Copies of this chain bind each other. A is one copy, B any other.
Amino acid sequence: MIIIMKDNASAKEIVAVEKVLEEYGFKTHPIEGEKKTIIGAIGDKRQLSMNQILLMSGVENVVPIMKPYKLASKELQKEQSVIDVGYGVTVGGNKLAVFAGPCAIESQEQFTTVSRSVKEAGANILRGGAFKPRSSPYSFQGLEGEGLEIMYNSGKELGMPICTEVVDTRDVDLVAKYADIMQIGARNMQNFKLLREVGKTNKPILLKRGLASTMEEWLMAAEYIMSEGNENVILCERGIRTYETATRNTFDLSAIPVSKELSHLPIIADPSHATGSYKYVAPIAKGAIAAGADGLMIEVHNCPEKAASDGPQSLKPEKFNTLMKELDLIAKAVGRELL
């Protein structure tokens, strides 16, 4: 790390900072400028909080040099991770992953209908919500256990991995029993206890970006999961909160190349939650694939106007089918496979 001293820092203050750094095993390299002294400090900063130095007399600022995440970074693993999610499907390889299904699971009949249609259109992973985080306590909260069984039946019938959200540490074991991929939703991205619990399982984790999380916080959330031993983390960009109200969130396309620069983890895009409107799902999905995403998560409902949750952002099966064909052309244009 680098310690920037104040303009008028005294020699005594500079020595005091160096002394503390040395006590913690750092090698110090002071550099005297015309107005300021800066101190380069070489060592393992995990032993020492930057704050300790920041609060010392005469210190203006402390600049970290190393990234705070390790396992999620390219430091230890340079090549792209390819994650096996079951039934022969992978995320992160040349073939794109397409997670599709309704926002909420409403009944076996509804889920079977939608699942069959998305499979036919070319999706390779089923998605659906059994436990639903809803902003109102008066909204439908999901079928919970029953929903898990419904998904499980459809996954087995169609030979497709299923992905569903877990929202409570108490449910992790239950969800892990049914799901092939467990999802951590945007609102739980910094629910650290939940991250630790799913990190103790051996199921791949789909980690959605928090509503207003930075790339660094997102990779730190992945680090939480990975530090418990589960390295099968899939990132999912689903839009961030900004001042713009024309869409529900603002889809951050840059998250795709930036994550590829910083991490070996695969990343997919969720245009349904990012925009909140079925009208914008297709262009955002195409843009994400063109920019290098490893897959998509798209909400599909056979009757969006009767959906228990998030109808306005769901595609009807025939629109999803058309979109998959259009996406296939884009995938080929960037050297990937979709259908």
Contacts and interface: CB of A to CB of B under 8 A. Distances in A.
Interface in A150-168: 167-168
Contacts of A42: 31-34
Contacts of A289: 290
Contacts of A312: 51, 54-55
Contacts of A216: 246
A303 to B, nearest CB: 9
Interface in A226-262: 227, 240-247, 250-254, 256-258, 261-262
Given A54-B312, A134-B192, A312-B54, A257 B279 contact: yes
Interface string A309-336: 0111000000000000010011011100
A61 B196 CA distance: 33
Contacts of A7: 75
Contact of A254 (B34, B223, B250): B250
Contact of A290 (B63, B168, B193, B330): B330
Contacts of A93: none
A162 to B, nearest CB: 21
Nearest to A310: B51
Given A52-B306, A212-B212, A244-B215, A31 B40 contact: yes
B245 A240 contact: no
A292 B169 CA distance: 38
A298 to B, nearest CB: 15
Contacts of A284: 253-254, 257, 291
A304 B307 CA distance: 46
A46 interface: yes
| Contact residues on A (Cβ < 8 Å of other chain), bracket | 35 or more
Interface stretch (A111-119, A121-129, A183-191): A183-191
Contact of A334 (B56, B168, B286): B286
A34 to B, nearest CB: 7
B242 A254 contact: no
Contacts of A32: 42
A203 B294 CA distance: 43
Given A243-B241, A251-B253, A333-B332, A227 B279 contact: no
A254 B240 contact: no
Given A2-B2, A257-B283, A291-B286, A240 B244 contact: yes
Interface in A182-233: 187-188, 190-193, 196, 210-212, 214-217, 220, 223-224, 227
Given A137-B227, A167-B192, A286-B292, 15 more contacts: A2-B63, A29-B29, A29-B40, A36-B66, A52-B311, A136-B223, A137-B220, A187-B192, A241-B243, A254-B275, A256-B287, A261-B279, A287-B288, A326-B333, A329-B334
